[in-house]
Structure formats: structure tokens, C-alpha cells
Amino acid sequence: MSTAKEKLAGKVALVTGAASGIGEASARKLSAEGAALVLSDINEAGAAAVASELVAAGGKAISSQHDVRQPQDWERVLAITIENFGGLDILVNNAGIAADNTELMKLELDQWHKVTSINLDGVFLGMRYAGPALEQRGGGSVINISSILGKVGFPGAAAYCASKGGVSLLTKSAALEWAPLNIRVNSVHPGFVETPLVIEALQNDDDGVAVRELLVAAHPLGRLGQAQEIANAVAFLASDESSFMTGSELVIDGGYTAQ
């Protein structure tokens, strides 16, 4: 009988934004299932710390500083991936930033660009530069982390919603283009998850406690999500268990969008 660890044995995965939150949880899950990991993040020290823990636990992992807005960073990280592990099978485009709760009529263009350049351009660049490496391996899996706010609106989050909605349709377009290459491309749409990003946003809000209570109440399951719950979905999409899925939106939101 196969063990969970064998599901991704021999596979190489690159996870962006892997220093914390969903990225870190996804890297740990993929490593536990046998994949060799490249952990990238703007926070180089954080990514390195997670990679060291994975290696200490018997896994294969390296880390790199990575600004997903920069094509040259993508070229460098992919070169490191191929140099160390021989290729790439799985790309998890996870790096992102939260909305800053600015009303649309007060939103400045530089604020808009800051969010969209990371959340959307970063995903485009990831696929643009990692695509050839995946094709060279005879196929693979791309998992783009979107959001429920790529499916429904939210006040004060115009740039964030636009960026995550863009990720959803970018995913579908790539899935159609790359199906003949045996590269599957799917998006994951988490509800509000207790990550450092969400916690910091709530802490910076003058009514953070009240906002948290409202967010919890908006999820029919009566709580926020956990990063590990999203990581489980990432591992599923990375594995052959999802071999007939491409262009799909995997919603993990405690019932938020069912209402």
C-alpha cells in the first residue's frame, strides 16, 4: 500500500511566499509527501528557516530571496531550482499581500499597482518563466492561490478583489493553453484564514476585534480557516489524485460563498 509520503516522491516543487502562512504550510505538506522543495520569499531569512527545518526532518529543501514582481528574480530562482534538483514539476504561486482597506474613491494608483503587481503580475510571471521548465519535464501542476475575494466583492478591497479575480481567469486561460502539454493549472480560493497576513491586517484596523467577529460570523462553519486546511488542498492538486482537474476553482471557505 502506498504511503502519503510516496504521493509526491521524485517531484520538485517551488512555493512562493513560503516563509509564513499558507505558503509555509503548503511547503511543509508537500515536503511531508515526498517532494523536494524550493522555498522563495521576499523574506529570505524566514524562507531559509523553514527550509532548514524541512532538511532537519529528513526532507530536501533550499530557499531563496524572491521578489515575484521581478522577471530577473524568477529567472534566478528557476535556475537555482534546476541546478539543485534537475527540474520542476509543481509551482505554487502563493506570494501575495492583503488589501489596505482604502475606499475606491480614495485609492491611489500606486496603491493599486502595489497590490496588483504582487498578487496578479507575480502569478503571471511565475507561469511565464516556470512554464518552459514544467514542459521540459513532460508536464506538471500549477496551483495559483486566489481567494474568495476573487469570486465575490468586499468593501475597501477593490485592488485585492481585482487581482484575485484576475488570477482566477488567468488560471483558466493557462489551463486551456497548457492542457496539450500535460500541465494542469488550477486555482485555490481560501476564505479568511488565520495567517500572519490576516492577523496583521486585523491588528492594524481600529476596529480589529469587531471586524474579526464579523468575519467569523460570515463563515457558516463559525470560524476562520487554518493554513493547514489550504495546504491539504494544494497537496491534492499537486498530486496525481487530481489528474483530471485543470482550470478548476477549489473553494475552501467554510461556506462563505454558499450564502
Which residues are annotated as catalytic? 160
How many other CB atoms are found less than 10 A from the CB of residue 235? 27
Q: Environment class of residue 135 by beta-carbon count within 10 Å: exposed (0-12), middle (13-18) or buried (19+)?
A: middle
**Is 237:245 a contact under the CB 8 Å cutoff?**
yes
What single letter denotes the amino acid at residue 241? E
160 in helix, strand or coil?
helix
Pairing outcome for strands 12-16 and 249-252: unpaired
CA pair distance 247, 243, nearest whole angstrom? 12
Beta-bridge mates of residue 92: 15, 143
For cell 518563466, the residue is 129
Q: What are phi and psi of 217, to 5 degrees?
A: -65, -25
Residue 40 grid coordinates: 522563495
State whether the Cα torsion 17-23-28-34 is positive or negative.
negative
CA pair distance 10, 85, nearest whole angstrom? 10
Closest CA to 88 of 15, 14, 178: 14
